[in-house]
């Protein structure tokens, strides 16, 4: 049974080795991106994806204030999709029914947020709308938005043109902590709210969706008007979420889900004290 | 210690062949190979740490080399101790370490009789020494404790927030500003908007933090937004209401506003406050509503306070009536 | 060489006699006697890494502009404490490894104390004559928790700042003197004039560690003076200790274990990120993140605060915030008083005033084991209650339902645990030979199809107990040539 005695240290070494190898794969990938937060890389690739029939840009003055002008040719196909997929609840003219709210006046940005995050069409009306793969592609989404916007031109939340190349991460971080972290948590992991609601994780949100959500306040989220957060500030927050929250600098190892000391406590007790108790088993007698 | 009472164990000489001195391992060669291999790994790990430190300072490599080295070296030493050293079992006798009755009596007698002799003969000296040392003990606590901080003001009219638990810097006509000092105008927030505000000049101050919420888009001449009791409708203005952001439970910032359900939730211990009924706690450990700040709009459309808070903000304390 | 040095020292200090006795000191071989060493060695890691951190940390709330290497904070106004904490993580070589090792070592330190304390409790090792050492140990647990909280607070990040705010409110809740205590601790009304950081620093790096070191010396001194307890077994009596001698066997094992403890701490420190303060940002009293909890050893207090109903006493011009006072002051006060007084409570209950050097098996003492299990379950339940929001989010249950579950479960489940444990212990006590290591039986089928059971011989590992325990020999009869090929290489078959 001498061989058996070696099994324990061998298993210990092996488990630590496997643990180490697992740990190395993310950290090695991160080794060259330990400073992922240069503004260029944060903003790069997230200027607005161009739809097939490109909508024009309403170039108003000031950074972060540009919005998408949806072409009129989008309205008719948008209406067709709306009739097929949305009208049964929201009504043929998007004015709402007893089952779903009025969409008129909410603006293209609100529609874009709900449809592009997959929350609409709704899967289960009894619970909070959940993020899921979107049903419609980019063009179809914009067509629906164009149709709803056409009911009340010029009102509601527009679809912003997002360009994060000039955003200020420091300002975005401060604003995020003050305005967003109380619900979405400081790591963007999200958490349960009162009455069965929850604040979703921000890890998959695109900068456009972030700004649309800030402006439209989906569900339980407050609405932040331009008098509250200026377009520049909204862009700074989007840049912080995209560049820091979504690509956290976990140079200390596994992020452990970003849920803080509860996860750390379990790791410390189960892995830390647990491994050392196994060593005790090896060193000492077990009878 | 009390070695005198111990029985000195006899000098014993045993043969090197004594079974108690033999290793635990059945195959000592293998155990030795294991210990040697792990110690070599440990050595290499430490060399690796040195190299890592000089060339990259990469945390994961540092942990792997240093921690791995310690793990391997430790395993080697343990294997050496467990498998290759004299296996025993060995025994050690316990000795009664308490003193004999006679020794105890002698100790007691020394304290009682000698001490008694000293104190009984010079009662006054004993009393004076007790008096003096007690006085020193009391007064030395003054600088040790009293100097640590100011005395809390007990008056409810106190105005200095550094020394009063009742005071805030909200006065009549205080201008509402954001954390970075921007003046808040009545047009700034849409319905469902939320903003953390301070009295102008006290941005970022803990007791003054106030959460401003716009519940409805109401013009200056429309009927006001009706709050349920104990909320004060006349303390809101044009659909705005403002409450202290300090939780009445433990003083955490109540920054979580659920717009759909009109609730404020404290992120620390999940107390839930109903915004439309004057922030009455609906659930959780908070005992009292969040104090409401009376609001008004000045001639330039800026939001101001009608007056300061009418009660102490934040968690409860003894002097709070 | 060794001989002449020893003579030199012994001429002056007279250490040979006591020293030889110390080298012959016997340590029991059972694994559970190593648990306290995890705490001891992680405390050494804490001291070492702590000294490293204190070389770079600046205990000051003075506001400066951050210009370190972490880009998202560039240009932010932060305290020197926060800036130096981020700086020693990112801009000091190996700093992050040391900081994380320090934090992990604290988590392991208190975890090991808890496990060690449970071992001492369930086996009755706290009984006469070791009541004082139990009290010393509980005091170290208390100081360890306090120092963990103090250290957690030093970086002045968003999460720890919230913890300091809560601490202030808890102090404030104490009737009569609460606001005075709060003002004296913080140098004024919250958040004070920034003096809390240097005060916490002084407590964390000097006063509390000095107390812990003093108690640790007493703990180990008492251990040597009173000698180890041991489990019942062959040759083991109330009047001896059986095991391995201090030198060399135990020393080798424990040195290896020191390396192991350090290794686990440093491996965690590199691969499991702990308290990433750079992601949390500077603390401001009006900012908050959801899902903030204290470290695990404070979690039970946070959980107790969460599940407490909103009972506040108001009358005669005064307020007593029972919703804070009961869970955060009275509850831990009761728990620690039970810990301190347990040896005396039990002795009074059983009327047993005899010396005890042999340990109980937990199942032989159903009531004590039940009480211990009840306490562990109570601690686990209130600790779990500190993550109501995380649990609700993870399992997608309503937050309010989770809270109500814990309001009922915290008082009920520990009581059930008590009766269940007592029952299980009584059942186990009745079963013959339970828990004994038995040689396996071979079931043999003969050519005619009959089955027979053949007991195997004792395995070689079991043979360790076959020898009689003997005192450590004074001399080993050994020619110099044997030093190379002697003990440790050959094995005498028996």
Show residues of chain A in contact with C393, CB under 8 Å.
190-192, 198
Q: What is the pLDDT of residue C458?
A: 59
Answer yes or no: do B16 and C487 touch at CB < 8 A: yes
- Residues of chain B scoring pLDDT < 70: 1-10
Whether C301 contacts C333, CB under 8 Å: no
| C386 in reach of chain A (CB within 8 A) | yes
Q: What is the pLDDT of residue A61?
A: 47
Whether B46 contacts B65, CB under 8 Å: yes
| C266 in reach of chain B (CB within 8 A) | yes
Please list, in sequence order, all residues whose beta carbon lies within 8 angstroms of the beta carbon of residue C388, skipping any fewer than 6 positions away.
B270, C303, C306, C399, C402, C403, C406
Q: Using the 8-state DSSP alphabet, how is residue C127 labeled?
A: S
Residue C467 has a CB neighbour count (10 Å cut-off) of 18
Whether C308 has a pLDDT exceeding 70, the answer reads yes
pTM: 0.89
- Phi, psi dihedrals of residue C10, rounded to the nearest 5°: -70, -30
Which of B232-259 are b and which e, b meaning 16 or more Cβ less than 10 Å from the residue's Cβ? eeebbbbbbbbbbbbbbbbbbbbbbbbb
Going from the N-terminus, what domains does chain C have, and what CATH number goes with each?
Answer: 34-224+249-340 (1.20.810.10), 441-489 (no CATH)
| B252 in reach of chain A (CB within 8 A) | no
Answer yes or no: do A265 and C464 touch at CB < 8 A: no
User: Cα separations (Å) of C479 from B23, B27, C485?
Assistant: 19, 24, 10
What percent of chain B has a predicted confidence (pLDDT) above 70?
A: 97
Determine the Cα angle at C387 with ends C296 and C161, to 5°.
65
**For A28, nearest residue in chain B (alpha carbons):** B60
Please name which of C256, C166, C16, C386 lies closest in space to residue B314, comparing C-alpha atoms.
C166
- Residue with the two structure tokens 């619900």: A183
- pLDDT per position as a tens digit, C215-254: 999 999 999 999 999 998 888 899 999 999 998 899 999 9
Answer yes or no: do C169 and B161 touch at CB < 8 A: no
Structure tokens at A67: 């919005």
| C160 in reach of chain A (CB within 8 A) | no
In B, residues 84-123, which contact A (CB 8 Å cutoff)?
none
Q: What is the pLDDT of residue A5?
A: 47
Instruction: Classify strands C441-445 and C318-320 as parallel, antiparallel or unpaired.
Output: unpaired
Radius of gyration of chain A (CA): 24
Give the span between the Cα atoms of C385 and C387, in whole angstroms.
Answer: 5
- Phi, psi dihedrals of residue A22, rounded to the nearest 5°: -60, -40
Whether B50 contacts C253, CB under 8 Å: no
Helices of type H across A165-229 = 169-179, 181-184, 207-216
CB-nearest to B190 from A12, A194, A223 is: A223
Mutate one of A252, A254, A258 to test the C interface: name it (highest C CB count within 10 A). A252
Strands (E), C98-254: 240-245
Give the span between the Cα atoms of A5 and C123, in whole angstroms.
Answer: 27
Q: Element (H or E) spanning C108, and its range?
A: helix C95-122
Whether A132 has a pLDDT exceeding 90, the answer reads no
Give the span between the Cα atoms of A286 and A279, in whole angstroms.
Answer: 12
- How confident is the prediction for chain C on average, in pLDDT? 89
- Residue with the two structure tokens 């793990």: B71
Instruction: Classify strands B256-258 and B176-177 as parallel, antiparallel or unpaired.
Output: unpaired
Q: Mean pLDDT, to the nearest integer, of A120-142?
A: 85
Give the span between the Cα atoms of C332 and C298, in whole angstroms.
Answer: 10
Q: Neighbours of A (≥3 Cβ pairs closer than 8 A)?
A: B, C
Q: What is the pLDDT of residue C451?
A: 82
Q: What is the pLDDT of residue A125?
A: 73
- Phi, psi dihedrals of residue B221, rounded to the nearest 5°: -105, 0
**For B55, nearest residue in chain C (alpha carbons):** C93
Mutate one of A43, A253, A271 to test the C interface: name it (highest C CB count within 10 A). A253
Which residues is B243 bridged to in the sheet?
Answer: B211, B292
Structure tokens at C200: 């916490």
Please name which of A117, A148, A134, A89 lies closest in space to residue A221, comparing C-alpha atoms.
A117
* Residue B31 burial class via C-beta count within 10 angstroms: exposed 0-12, middle 13-18, buried 19 and up: buried
Higher pLDDT, A53 or A237: A237
Answer yes or no: do A253 and B283 touch at CB < 8 A: no
Give the span between the Cα atoms of B313 and C393, in whole angstroms.
Answer: 31
Which residues is C65 bridged to in the sheet?
Answer: C77
Give the span between the Cα atoms of A259 and A191, in whole angstroms.
Answer: 9
Answer yes or no: do C33 and A284 touch at CB < 8 A: yes
Structure tokens at A237: 């927050």
Q: What is the pLDDT of residue B3?
A: 45
| B77 in reach of chain A (CB within 8 A) | no
Whether C171 contacts C178, CB under 8 Å: yes
User: Cα separations (Å) of C273 from A136, A250, A251, A271, C260?
Assistant: 39, 7, 8, 13, 20
Q: Mean pLDDT, to the nearest integer, of C393-414?
A: 90
Whether B50 contacts B66, CB under 8 Å: no
Please name which of C163, C155, C159 lies closest in space to residue C81, comparing C-alpha atoms.
C155
User: Cα separations (Å) of B125 from B112, B118, B119, B120, C457?
Assistant: 18, 10, 8, 10, 80
- How confident is the prediction for chain A on average, in pLDDT? 79
Show residues of chain B in contact with C250, CB under 8 Å.
81
Answer yes or no: do C471 and B255 touch at CB < 8 A: no
- Phi, psi dihedrals of residue C36, rounded to the nearest 5°: -60, -30
Give the CB-side neighbour count of residue B144, counting CA atoms within 13 A.
6
Give the span between the Cα atoms of A143 and A127, in whole angstroms.
Answer: 27
**For C473, nearest residue in chain B (alpha carbons):** B12
CA dihedral B75, B79, B82, B87 (to 10 degrees): -170
Q: How far is A110 from chain B (nearest CA, A)?
A: 15
pLDDT classification of C471: cutoffs 50, 70, 90: confident
CB-nearest to A253 from C271, C278, C280 is: C271
Residue C258 has a CB neighbour count (10 Å cut-off) of 18
Whether C116 contacts C41, CB under 8 Å: no
Higher pLDDT, C452 or C90: C90
Whether A168 has a pLDDT exceeding 50, the answer reads yes
Is the C-alpha dihedral spanning C353, C358, C362, C365 positive or negative? negative
Please name which of A171, A190, A174 lies closest in space to residue A236, comparing C-alpha atoms.
A171
Whether C137 contacts C125, CB under 8 Å: no
Q: Determine if the peptide bond prior to B230 is cis (ω within 30°).
A: yes
Mutate one of A6, A13, A28, A194 to test the B interface: name it (highest B CB count within 10 A). A194
Please name which of C338, C328, C335 lies closest in space to residue C304, comparing C-alpha atoms.
C328
Which of A189-206 are b and which e, b meaning 16 or more Cβ less than 10 Å from the residue's Cβ? bbbbbbbebbbbbbeebb
Whether B151 contacts B163, CB under 8 Å: yes
C-alpha of C359 from chain center: 21
Q: What is the pLDDT of residue A130?
A: 85
Q: How far is A25 from chain C (nearest CA, A)?
A: 11
Whether A55 has a pLDDT exceeding 60, the answer reads no
Whether A59 has a pLDDT exceeding 60, the answer reads no
- pLDDT per position as a tens digit, A93-106: 888 888 888 998 89
Q: What is the pLDDT of residue A123?
A: 77
Q: What is the pLDDT of residue C103?
A: 96
Q: Mean pLDDT, to the nearest integer, of C110-131?
A: 95
Q: Mean pLDDT, to the nearest integer, of C83-87?
A: 96
What percent of chain C has a predicted confidence (pLDDT) above 90?
A: 70
Residue ranges per structural domain of chain A: 2-25+255-286
pLDDT classification of A72: cutoffs 50, 70, 90: confident
Higher pLDDT, C455 or A226: A226
Q: How far is A248 from chain C (nearest CA, A)?
A: 8
Quote ipTM for the complex: 0.91
Instruction: Return the CATH superfamily for domain B168-321.
Output: Rieske [2Fe-2S] iron-sulphur domain (2.102.10.10)
Which residues is B13 bridged to in the sheet?
Answer: C475
Please name which of A134, A258, A147 lies closest in space to residue A208, comparing C-alpha atoms.
A134
Give the span between the Cα atoms of C299 and C294, in whole angstroms.
Answer: 6
Give the span between the Cα atoms of B258 and C363, in whole angstroms.
Answer: 52
C-alpha of A8 from chain center: 44
- Phi, psi dihedrals of residue B109, rounded to the nearest 5°: -60, -40
Q: Mean pLDDT, to the nearest integer, of C285-304?
A: 90
Higher pLDDT, C356 or B13: C356
Q: What is the pLDDT of residue C394?
A: 82
**Residue C284 in 3-state DSSP?**
coil
Give the span between the Cα atoms of C372 and C380, in whole angstroms.
Answer: 12
- Residue with the two structure tokens 């997959």: A118
Residue ranges per structural domain of chain B: 15-84, 102-146, 168-321
Higher pLDDT, A64 or B319: B319
pLDDT classification of C494: cutoffs 50, 70, 90: very low
pLDDT classification of A33: cutoffs 50, 70, 90: very low
Instruction: Classify strands B295-297 and B303-305 as parallel, antiparallel or unpaired.
Output: antiparallel
- How confident is the prediction for chain B on average, in pLDDT? 90
Which residues is C443 bridged to in the sheet?
Answer: C453
Q: Mean pLDDT, to the nearest integer, of C377-400?
A: 88
Answer yes or no: do A227 and B185 touch at CB < 8 A: yes
Higher pLDDT, C391 or B106: B106
CB-nearest to A190 from C74, C253, C393 is: C393
Residue C493 has a CB neighbour count (10 Å cut-off) of 7
In C, residues 160-219, which contact B (CB 8 Å cutoff)?
162, 165-166, 168-170, 172-180, 182-193
C-alpha of C346 from chain center: 23
Answer yes or no: do B192 and A222 touch at CB < 8 A: yes
pLDDT classification of C491: cutoffs 50, 70, 90: very low
| B265 in reach of chain A (CB within 8 A) | yes
Which residues is B212 bridged to in the sheet?
Answer: B195, B242
| B187 in reach of chain A (CB within 8 A) | yes
Q: Mean pLDDT, to the nearest integer, of C383-405?
A: 87
Show residues of chain B in contact with C193, CB under 8 Å.
162
Give the span between the Cα atoms of B202 and B193, in whole angstroms.
Answer: 22
């Amino acid at each position: 049974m001498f061989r058996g005695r070696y099994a324990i240290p061998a298993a210990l070494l092996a488990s630590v080795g496997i643990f180490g190898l697992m740990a190395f794969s993310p950290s090695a990938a991160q080794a060259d991106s330990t400073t992922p937060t240069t503004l260029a890389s944060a903003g790069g690739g997230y200027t607005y994806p161009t739809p097939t029939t490109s909508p024009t840009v309403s170039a108003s003055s000031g950074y972060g204030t540009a919005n998408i002008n949806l072409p009129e040719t989008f309205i008719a196909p948008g209406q067709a999709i709306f009739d097929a997929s949305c009208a049964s609840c929201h009504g043929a003219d998007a004015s709402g029914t007893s089952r779903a709210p009025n969409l008129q006046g909410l603006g293209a940005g609100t529609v874009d947020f709900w449809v592009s995050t997959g929350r609409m069409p709704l899967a289960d009306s009894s619970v909070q709308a959940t993020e899921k793969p979107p049903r419609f592609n980019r063009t179809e989404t914009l067509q629906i938005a164009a149709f709803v916007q056409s009911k009340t031109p010029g009102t509601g939340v527009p679809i912003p043109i997002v360009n994060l190349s000039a955003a200020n991460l420091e300002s975005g971080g401060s604003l995020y902590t003050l305005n967003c972290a109380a619900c979405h948590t400081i790591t963007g992991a999200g958490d349960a709210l009162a009455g069965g609601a929850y604040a979703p994780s921000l890890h998959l949100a695109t900068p456009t969706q972030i700004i649309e959500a800030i402006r439209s306040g989906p569900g339980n989220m407050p609405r932040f008007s331009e008098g509250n957060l200026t377009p520049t500030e909204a862009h700074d927050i989007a840049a912080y979420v995209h560049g820091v929250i979504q690509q956290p600098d976990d140079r200390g190892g596994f992020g452990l889900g970003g849920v803080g000391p509860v996860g750390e406590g379990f790791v410390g007790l189960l892995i830390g004290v647990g491994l050392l108790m196994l060593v005790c088993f090896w060193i000492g007698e077990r009878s | 210690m009390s070695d005198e009472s111990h029985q000195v164990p006899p000098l014993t000489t045993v043969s090197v062949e004594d079974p108690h001195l033999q290793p635990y391992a059945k195959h000592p060669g293998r155990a030795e190979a294991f210990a040697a291999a792990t110690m070599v790994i440990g050595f290499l790990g430490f060399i690796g740490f040195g190299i890592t430190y000089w060339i990259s300072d990469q945390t994961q490599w540092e942990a792997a080399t240093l921690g791995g080295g310690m793990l391997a070296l430790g395993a080697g030493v343990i294997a050496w101790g467990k498998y290759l050293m004299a296996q025993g079992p060995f025994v050690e006798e316990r000795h009664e370490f308490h003193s004999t009755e006679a020794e105890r009596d002698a100790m007691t007698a020394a304290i009682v009789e000698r001490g008694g002799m000293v104190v009984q003969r010079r009662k006054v000296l004993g009393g004076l020494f007790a008096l003096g040392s007690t006085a020193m003990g009391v007064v030395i606590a003054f600088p040790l404790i009293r100097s640590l901080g100011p005395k809390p003001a007990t008056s409810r009219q106190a105005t200095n927030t550094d020394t009063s638990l009742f005071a805030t810097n909200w006065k009549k006509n205080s201008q509402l500003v954001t954390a970075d000092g921007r003046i808040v105008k009545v047009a700034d927030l849409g319905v469902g908007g939320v903003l953390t505000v301070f009295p102008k000049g006290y941005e970022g101050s803990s007791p003054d933090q106030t959460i401003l919420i716009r519940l409805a888009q109401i013009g200056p001449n429309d009927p006001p937004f009706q709050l349920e009791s104990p909320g004060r409708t006349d303390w809101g203005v044009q659909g705005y209401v403002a409450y202290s952001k300090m939780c009445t439970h433990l003083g955490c910032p109540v920054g979580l506003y659920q717009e759909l359900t009109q609730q404020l939730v404290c992120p620390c211990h999940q107390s839930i406050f109903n915004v439309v009924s004057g922030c009455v706690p609906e659930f959780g450990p908070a005992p009292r509503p969040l104090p409401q700040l009376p609001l008004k709009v000045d001639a330039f459309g800026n939001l101001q306070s009608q007056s300061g808070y009418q009660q102490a903000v934040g968690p409860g304390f003894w002097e709070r009536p | 060489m060794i001989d002449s040095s020893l003579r030199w020292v012994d001429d002056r200090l007279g250490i040979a006699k006591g020293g030889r006795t110390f080298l012959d000191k016997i340590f029991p071989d059972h694994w559970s006697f190593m648990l306290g060493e995890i705490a001891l060695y992680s405390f050494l890691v804490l001291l070492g890494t702590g000294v490293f951190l204190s070389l770079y940390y600046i205990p000051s709330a003075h506001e400066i502009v951050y210009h370190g290497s972490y880009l998202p904070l560039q240009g932010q106004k932060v305290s020197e404490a926060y800036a130096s904490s981020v700086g020693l993580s990112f801009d000091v070589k190996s700093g992050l490894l040391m900081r994380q090792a320090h934090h992990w070592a604290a988590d392991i330190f208190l975890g090991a104390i808890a496990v060690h304390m449970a071992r001492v409790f369930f086996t009755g090792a706290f009984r006469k004559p070791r009541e004082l050492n139990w009290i010393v140990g509980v005091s170290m647990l208390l100081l360890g928790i306090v120092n963990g909280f103090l250290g957690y607070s030093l970086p002045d990040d968003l999460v720890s700042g919230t913890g300091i705010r809560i601490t202030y409110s808890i102090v404030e809740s104490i009737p009569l003197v609460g606001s005075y205590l709060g003002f004296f601790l913080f140098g004024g009304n919250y958040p004070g004039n920034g003096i809390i950081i240097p005060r916490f620093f002084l407590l964390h790096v000097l006063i509390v560690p000095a107390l812990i070191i003093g108690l640790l010396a007493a703990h180990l001194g008492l251990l040597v003076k009173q000698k180890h307890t041991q489990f019942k077994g062959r040759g083991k009596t109330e009047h001896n200790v059986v095991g391995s001698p201090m030198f060399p066997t135990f020393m080798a094992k424990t040195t290896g274990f020191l390396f192991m403890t350090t290794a686990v701490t440093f491996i965690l420190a590199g691969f499991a990120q702990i308290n990433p303060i750079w992601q949390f940002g500077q603390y401001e009293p009006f900012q908050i993140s959801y899902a903030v909890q204290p470290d695990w050893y404070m979690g039970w207090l946070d959980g107790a605060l969460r599940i407490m109903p909103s009972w506040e006493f108001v009358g005669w011009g005064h307020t007593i915030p029972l919703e804070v006072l009961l869970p955060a002051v009275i509850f831990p006060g009761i728990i620690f008083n039970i810990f301190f007084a347990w040896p005396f409570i039990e002795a009074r209950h059983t009327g047993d005033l005899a010396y005890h050097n042999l340990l109980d098996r937990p199942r032989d003492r159903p009531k004590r084991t039940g009480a211990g299990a009840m306490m562990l379950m109570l601690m686990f339940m209130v600790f779990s209650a500190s993550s109501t929001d995380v649990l609700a989010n993870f399992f997608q249950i309503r937050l309010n339902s989770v809270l109500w579950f814990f309001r009922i479960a915290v008082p009920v489940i520990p009581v059930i645990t008590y009766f269940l444990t007592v029952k299980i212990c009584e059942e186990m006590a009745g079963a013959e030979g339970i828990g004994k290591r038995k040689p396996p039986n071979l079931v043999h089928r003969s050519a005619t199809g009959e089955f027979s059971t053949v007991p195997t011989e004792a395995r070689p590992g079991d043979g360790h107990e076959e020898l009689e325990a003997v005192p450590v020999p004074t001399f080993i009869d050994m020619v110099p040539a044997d030093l190379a090929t002697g003990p440790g290489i050959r094995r005498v078959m028996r």
